[in-house]
Amino acid sequence: IVCFIGRSNVGKSSLIKALFSLAPEVEVRVSKKPGHTKKMNFFKVGKHFTVVDMPGYGYRAPEDFVDMVETYLKERRNLKRTFLLVDSVVGIQKTDNIAIEMCEEFALPYVIVLTKIDKSSKGHLLKQVLQIQKFVNTKTQGCFPQLFPVSSVTFSGIHLLRSFIASVTGNLD
């Protein structure tokens, strides 16, 4: 199991859809309204691999978000990796820090994925990457040292992230 967590409207469902666009048996629904995921959605990929799309935190978060997500993350022993999505346009926000602290507290292996890189200028994106990389290197222990900048629109970075997921789970088939 791997799960995707992040603020409302950070692009979790869109990223999952882009990652598995070549796997027609994985049907991912993306709402026209941002921040629409209110419950955990489970997607089976192949025989031994599940992706969990968590509801967003922050704006439009469901009332039971903390209980639902914290309990799941704390108790799920077969959770291989948590992918924490951060909007590359705005960087790490206060609510992201809370999610990072939760991953650190529960000693979860996690990865920071920068979404919406097609909406940032190259200069702004570089600045964000450097700031977040410094944060990861100096303030985290459980975070994978490499950031994954991606775009669900242009598919930039999708192949690399997909390969990483395959290495973590054993396969994507």
Quick: pLDDT tens for 69-91. 888 998 888 899 999 999 999 99
The C-alpha atoms of residue 149 and residue 122 are separated, in whole angstroms, by 12
Regarding predicted confidence, which is higher, 140 or 39? 140
In this predicted structure, what is the pLDDT of residue 140?
A: 96
Cβ-contact 111, 140 below 8 angstroms = no
In this predicted structure, what is the pLDDT of residue 37?
A: 61
C-alpha distances in Å from residue 9, one per residue of 76, 128, 130: 25, 18, 23
In this predicted structure, what is the pLDDT of residue 148?
A: 97
pLDDT (average), residues 52-75? 82
pLDDT (average), residues 142-167? 95
In this predicted structure, what is the pLDDT of residue 163?
A: 92
Q: Where are the beta strands (DSSP E) in 19-170?
A: 41-45, 49-53, 81-87, 110-115, 148-149
pLDDT (average), residues 137-156? 96
In this predicted structure, what is the pLDDT of residue 46?
A: 74
- What is the token pair recorded at 13? 């469902």
Cβ-contact 61, 8 below 8 angstroms = yes
pTM across the whole model: 0.90
Pick the CATH number of 2-169 from 3.20.20.10, 3.40.50.970, 3.40.50.10860, 3.40.50.300: 3.40.50.300
For the chain, which residues make up each domain, given as ranges? 2-169
Percent of the chain with pLDDT over 70: 87
